[in-house]
Structure formats: structure tokens, C-alpha cells
A and B are shown apart, each in its own frame.
Chain A
Amino acid sequence: MKYAKLLLSFVLTIGIFFVLNTKLGSIPPLGKFLNPLSGIWQNETDETITGTIAIPGLKDKVTVHYDEYMIPHVFAQNEHDLYKAQGYLTAKHRLWQLEFQTHAAAGRLSEIFGEGALNYDRTERRRGMGYGAEQAIKYMEQYDTETLSYVQDYADGVNAYIDQLDPKDYPVEYKLLDYTPEAWSPKKTALLLMYMTKMLAGGDDDLEYTNVLRLIGQENFDLLFPDFFDSTDPVIPKDTDWSFIDVPQTESPASKVAILDTIAETIEKPNPDNGSNNWAVSGTKSATGNPILANDPHLGLNLPAIWFVMQLSTPEHNAFGATIPGALSVISGFNQYIAWGETNATRDVIDWYKVEFNDDRTQYNYDGGWKDITLRVEDIKIRGKESYKDSVLYTHHGPVVYDKNFKSDEELAGYAMKWIGHEGGNNQRTFIELNKAKNYDDYVNALKYWNAPAQNFVFASTEGDIALWIQGKFANKWEGQGKFLMDGSNPENDWQSYIPQQFNAHTKNPERGFVSSANQHPVDENYPFYVFNDGYETYRNRVINDFFNSKDSFSVQDFKDLHNNTYNLKAAELVPYMLEHMDASSLSEAERRIYEEIKTWNFNNDIDEVGPSIWRQWYGKLYNLTWDEFDVEDTAMDSPTTYQTIYLLKNHGDHEFMDIMDTEDTTETAKDLFLLAFKEAAERLMEIKEEKGDYTWLTYKATYAGHLLQALPAFSRFDIPIGGDRNTVNAASENHGPSWRMIVEMTSPPTAIGIYPGGQSGNPGSQYYDNFIDDWAAGNYYDLNFLQSNTATDAIIGTQTLTPATND
């Protein structure tokens, strides 16, 4: 009995220790997390931007000047040191994000979050993310050990930073989720590049289209999903002469039969809004006589932001611009001679093949015989549980993503994915070369290494050239190849060859005096190869090109205005038509008020307007009513694009698809849908007014930049006052938009401005975590201080020196 109290107090002590030392559900281990000696209070700091730090493996001293935006200006004596410093500094400011993104790419989130992330991890593994990264490393090992050595330098730099850390210094997210950083490796850089490839070229609708084709037939399919729209304004101008291309398009096989399976469910696709704008005007069209170039990639608005701005220089070259944590060199930026930027070149680079297995699934049917399967076992570690082993079967097409173990119930068949992302390219080399490029020829040479994701690389030089290449490795497909699920046993369905790189569509110094791209059609029908994609942008490009055709001379101010342009061409092409043709006589008083509101809208998606909100609701309801046929249970479907929907509403208003299937005794036409949709929209708008006070675009859209951990409110920014929407040039929608805005005038050296929605620090405890957001929303830019020599100017607020560590 005497010992009962002792025992009880002992158990209590162990108990409180356990509770405070263990992550319970989503609650962090509170003792570890909150104690001021090693917990989150240690993260209440700003960046250190002075002093000297010893780094193992450096050959020479590296100087890092920080300006008031916390942009590091790096002066190294050689390229190896430069990339070591880039790795070190990226880790210093963005360690958690750096690692988390590659964990996400590799399908390793279950290690952090437990079983809840298993389905996500399996999807990424079956998509072949790790396999693709390994192919990229293999390629570099075999053909380009120089680039690989820089990738290793970057890894060494990251690891030098991690090695210096004490657990109390770990970024706050590690403390929250109770895990620790691991060593960086070249494979992680390859994974990051796969992550970008997936984000930008990881989507396709082949399987959905297969269902649609089966349900509505070829004729309807061609009407609803045409290869080219009634009018296109392609990236490469229409009048381009293609006579230099002497390789023909692959001939169509005798039979082109799609496999019309019923596909219930497909893997998660990247956000279809991932896209961008870029453009450049020539000297003759520029107010100052210098070419001007702009880029704004549209990606998810996240914190820490996807971009990290740096100046990276050696005595041989000096580049400045946006980098991506995990990749080497500047991705969208400029050097002393050229400027460049990217938009996504939307193209169908994923195809699906149905493969049939033998009884023990070790072989598959091909060309009348059997071919061996390669088995890849994915070992997925799960926090607090035993690992999950997923067997993925690889064919010569690629991984069998869907089989009896994943989203399919076919015992002896599966769908194999052919994706350019698995081909093992040398993308990193392109950026390293672009950073050093001095002229058009250097730029063209740099692009040759680029496989995927296909990009529209815009270019301008101080010599006065402007250009745009659509660069990627593209299969030379037969007409219609890969639009639908194909028979994987027929060799004619394989990709037969690739379009020779020099025949990729491009334009240099076009007569019109400008180049531009905004994810629209790359070319018109005259380009001699088969070109297809399932999600072209059709509005931003026309607003941009109309603007550049509207006058003779453009200034940097014009560029800023265009970046911030919120003109909603989509609405402008349908709203007047709807107002004209809709019978408004049955509207209630409240509905009529809303009707009057949208009548006066000037089609700008500005934050104090109500028109954009009414349009969003109205069109959203209309779209759903129009394509009610596409809401089929247990069938993965994709409905037509907005462009084609509007075209059909205006030109085929009495087509059978306009009819609402639920109403058996009436046959609706487009006009009826306008009214029905308007009434539904009005009802919803009044509800929103009730809930939120008003439905101005600011309130309705409520743009936010969400922390990478599912927009954890504590670390996110909400209700950001920015106009625009997904199809306006200023493409800021709810959680997506211009993730980096840059304008470069090609003076010597170039003069540049830029901004992004975030901040240079990845630490939510730093004032530099989200300090750019307000200026970004307001359409402001920062002068990018392009230092020409290793001397701190007035713009510099601190200088840190990285020195080689001695061996003792």
C-alpha cells in the first residue's frame, strides 16, 4: 500500500512524458513543440544575413549580398561553388518546402502523414514518378556527367546546411509534424523536375474521352471536341512558312480502332489551370527601342511560394531571376545578354494502352506473341504502420497504372501509360546553358536538351532579337493517335518516331514585331505534324495578341497594364448574346435587380464589381445544365471546353444536348437554359449575400495563398484583394494565378522588375514569409537589383561570406 503512491506518481510521470512527447492525431507533441528551448519559439527569428560560414567542399570564397527583399546575390568564383551555394542558400531559406515537394513527387507522404496519404502515394508511384527520376539520373550518368556533377554540388550544398542544424533549428513544419530532414541527393533534383513535369504535362483525358466516344458516337464527339476551333490565334503565327520541314507525319495505320472500354475512375490530374503568359516585343515595337520581355507562370498560390528569386554569378556569367527550390540555376529570368521565360506548351504527351496478360501476369500480348513484364515493387513506408508493398507491372509502353490492384477490376488486363516524362531527359542542362547564353544561337542550343514538360520558351536579347520556340520531345503521331485508349498489342499504335527537334514549331523576329504565348494552340492546321491536346486556353492569348496588334509602340508600363488586365473575353463573348436571347419577362423583382446589375458590367473582373460573380454563377449553372448528359454514374467523363460550349450555345442552340434529360415532357433549347441557369444563379447569389454581406468579386472569389500543408489557416493568407480570374490575362482565381511576374527591358545590362505572391523566407515566423503579397495583389513590382560586380551597393542590407571549411 505504501508503494501505491510511489507507483501512481511514477505512472503519472511516464504518462505526462508520453503525452507531451508524442504526436497524437494531428496534435503535435506539445512538450517538444512548445518548449522554448528547442520548440517553435526557436523559430521566432529573421534570417541571418551577415557573418562567415564555413562550408565543406567549397573551392573558393562565395559572397552573398542580400537586398531589402531578402534576395541573395551570389558571387562565386566557379560553377561548382555556385551550385553548392545555391543548394546551401535554398536550404537555408526553404528547407522544409524543398524536401516536402520531393517527398510528394516520390509518393512518400505516408511516411509523414500515415495511412491517409497512401492512396496519393500509390497514385504517384504507379504514375512512375520515381521510375522517371531514375531514368533522368541514368541518362546523366551515361551522357552528361558534367551536369550530374553540378547536381551533386547542389546536393552537397543542401547537405552542408542540414548538417549544421541542431534539432532546435529545424523549420517549424518538422516540429509540427514531428519528423526530421534527411540528406539531399541528385535523385531528389530529378524528382523535383518530375514534379514539374507532372504539374505541367501530367494531365490528359484519353480515358475520359474513350467513355465519351462510346456514349455519344464519333460524329457528336467531333462536334463537341474538335482538334481546332472555329477561330484560333496560335502561338506560332498563322502565316509561318513550314516548307523547311522535310519529314512527313507518320502514316495512319489501316485501322484506327479505339478500345471502347467502360472506365469507372481515373487517377488525379494536375490543375488544368496550370498555365502561363509570356510575350516579347522587338526593338521596333518598343517605346525605347530595346526589346522588352515578360513572363508570368500561373500556378497554385502556395506558401512557401513555388519560386525563390536569386542572382547567380561567376566571373563567366551573371544570371538573375526565379529559381525553383530543388532545381539548379535560374528558371525564368535574364543575364547580361538575354532574357527568357516559359509558358506551358499544352500537348498530348500521355497515351494509354490496354494490355492483356497471361495467366500469372508475367507476360503480355504484343504483336501476336508474348512479351515479358518487368516487375517494380514500390515499398511505401507508412508512419506508425507496416510498409505497403505495391507491385507495378512495366511494359514497353510504360507502367500499368490501372490493373486489378488499382482502380480496375479486370483480372488479366490493365492500362499502361506511355508518358514522355518517363523518357529520362536532361532538362537541368537546358537551364544551366540558358543562364550562360549570350545570344539566339546559345538559346537554341540550350533548348535542345529539353524533353518535358514541353514549354513555350520566349526569348529576347540585347542584340535585338526576339524569338519563341515550342520545345519538348514530341512523338510524330499518326492523325488522331492517342486521343483514346489504344490496343497495346498492336505495334502500329506505338509511338513510331519523334518529331526531329529542329522541326519543333518556332518563330524568330516575326514581322508583326512581337511573340507571345498563353497555352493556346501551338500552330494552326498547316503545321505538317499531328498536333492535339485536350485543354487549350482560348481567351488570354486573344486579349494579349489584340493588345499588341492595337498600336505601334509599347512601354514597360504597357506590360504592367497587360499583366494586370482583367478583361473577361469569355463573358464578353456570351453575356450580350444571353441577354439578347433570354426571355426575361418571368423574372422576379430580386432576380431583375441582378439582371440589371450584369447588364451594366463592362466585363472587367475587378474586385469591386458584382458582374464577375454573377457571370461565374450564371455560366457555371448553364454549363452544368448543358452537359447534364455527361454526369454518368461510375463513369469517368470529361465535358467540352468553355470555348466549344459557348460556340455550341450560340450556333447550335437547338442541338439535342441542350435538352435537359430529367424533364421528359419538355425539350429545352439554349434560350431556355439561359433563363433556368439565371434563376438558379440568382438564388445562389442571394444566399451568398445573406452569408457574406455582398457578392462583389472580392468577397465572392476570396483569393488565398495556402500553406503547402492543405492551406493550414495559421500559415496561409486569405481574402487577398486581387482581380482577375482563370481566363483573364491577370489569371488570379481562388487559389491559383500569376505565381511570378517579370518584365525585362533589354538595355545593356538588362533592367528588370519582378514580384511573386509570397516572400523569400519559408519560415512563417519571418517577416519575409509573405511580405510580397500585398504589393503583388496591387499590381506593383520590385526593381531587381542586377549587381554587375561583387560590391555591395546601397540596395544591399547584409553580406554573408561562405568560405571553404578547413579539414580539421
Chain B
Amino acid sequence: MTKNITNFFATIILAAVLSFVLPWWSIMTAALATALFIPLKRAAVFFIPFLAILVFWAGFSFFLSSGNDFTLAKKIAVLLPLGGNPYLLMLVTGIIGGVAAGIAAIFGKQIVSRTKK
């Protein structure tokens, strides 16, 4: 269980740090790296980094958007279309980041499994 928690926070921190030097796929790199060094088991392989990045991206989006009355988020939520709901847009943002991170983590896990044997 502690490994799950460690991986969760490590993924967020690493993603945040890498975002200074890498484009959006820094989250995939971060999840891949944590999967290599803090390997998890079964469903957690996907869901821990998924949740970590979901929280990171949705939370950061909320932070940026709330300071500006969600002006743009409401409009983008018409564009995509999400009924103009800015919170739904944050959730979608989080899920997209989360899925990308989770898949990268599965790949990381596979690398670990192959190299160990």
C-alpha cells in the first residue's frame, strides 16, 4: 500500500519537475519513470499514475481557471462540447492526462518485467 502512495506522489512531483523542460508528454515520461523505479502490481500499475496525473492536471487547471472566473474554461467547454461546464472540462483534462500516464506506466511495468527475468 505504501508503494502505491509513494508512486502516486512521486509521479506528481516528477511530472511537475519534468514539465519545466518537456512539453505536455512530460506526464508520460514521469509515469514511465516511476513505473521503472517504484513498480506496482496488477490494476495499480495503471490506476495509480492515472489518478496521480488526473489529480495533478485537473487540480492545476482548477487553480489556473478559478483565478479568472473560469472565463475561458466555460467557452472551451462549449467548443469540445461539454455543455459549457468548466468542471467537466477539468475532469476531461485530468482523464486525458491520466490515461496517457497510465498507459506509459504499463509500458514501464513491462520493461521491468522483461529485464528482471
Contacts and interface: CB of A to CB of B under 8 A. Distances in A.
Q: Which of A44, A45, A714 has the most CB of B within 10 A?
A: A44
Interface of A: 2-3, 5-6, 9-10, 12-13, 16-17, 20-21, 30-32, 34-46, 167, 172, 176, 712-715, 763-767, 769
A191 B57 CA distance: 41
A519 B24 CA distance: 53
B93 A34 contact: yes
Contacts of A41: 60-61, 64-65, 72-73, 93
Contacts of A764: 71-72, 75
Given A34-B92, A714-B75, A6 B64 contact: no
A31 B100 CA distance: 9
A76 B20 CA distance: 37
A31 B111 CA distance: 24
A714 B93 contact: no
Given A35-B97, A36-B64, A44-B67, 15 more contacts: A3-B114, A6-B107, A10-B110, A13-B107, A16-B103, A20-B100, A21-B24, A21-B25, A31-B25, A36-B93, A41-B64, A44-B64, A44-B73, A46-B68, A715-B79
Nearest to A715: B75
The 7 closest A-B pairs by CB, nearest first: A765-B72, A714-B79, A35-B24, A714-B78, A36-B60, A9-B107, A6-B110
Nearest to A37: B19
A765 B25 contact: no
B93 A712 contact: no
A13 B28 contact: yes
B96 A30 contact: yes
B60 A37 contact: yes
B106 interface: yes
Interface residues of B, number: 41
B72 A36 contact: no
Contact of A765 (B68, B104, B117): B68
Interface of B: 19, 23-28, 32, 57, 60-61, 64-65, 67-73, 75-76, 78-79, 89, 92-93, 96-97, 99-100, 103-104, 106-107, 109-111, 113-114, 117
B24 A40 contact: no
Given A13-B28, A20-B100, A764-B72, A32 B111 contact: no
10 contacts: A6-B114, A12-B106, A34-B57, A34-B92, A41-B64, A42-B64, A43-B72, A167-B23, A712-B79, A714-B78
Contacts of B72: 40-41, 43-44, 172, 763-765
B96 A31 contact: yes
B103 A12 contact: yes
Contacts of B67: 44
Contacts of A5: 110, 113
Nearest to A45: B68
A419 to B, nearest CB: 38
| Main SS at interface, chain B | helix
Contact of B24 (A37, A176, A714, A769): A37
Nearest to A167: B23
Given A31-B100, A714-B76, A10 B68 contact: no
Nearest to A46: B68
A738 to B, nearest CB: 25
A674 B64 CA distance: 60
Nearest to A176: B79
B24 A38 contact: yes
A36 B57 contact: yes
Nearest to B16: A37
A577 B67 CA distance: 60
Contact of A12 (B79, B107, B113, B117): B107
Given A13-B107, A17-B25, A34 B71 contact: no
A31 B114 contact: no
Nearest to B104: A13
Contact of A9 (B25, B27, B106): B106
Nearest to B15: A37
Q: Which of B27, B73, B75, B92 has the most CB of A within 10 A?
A: B75
A198 B19 CA distance: 45
B78 A31 contact: no
A767 B70 CA distance: 10
Contacts of A765: 68, 71-72, 75
A17 B23 CA distance: 12
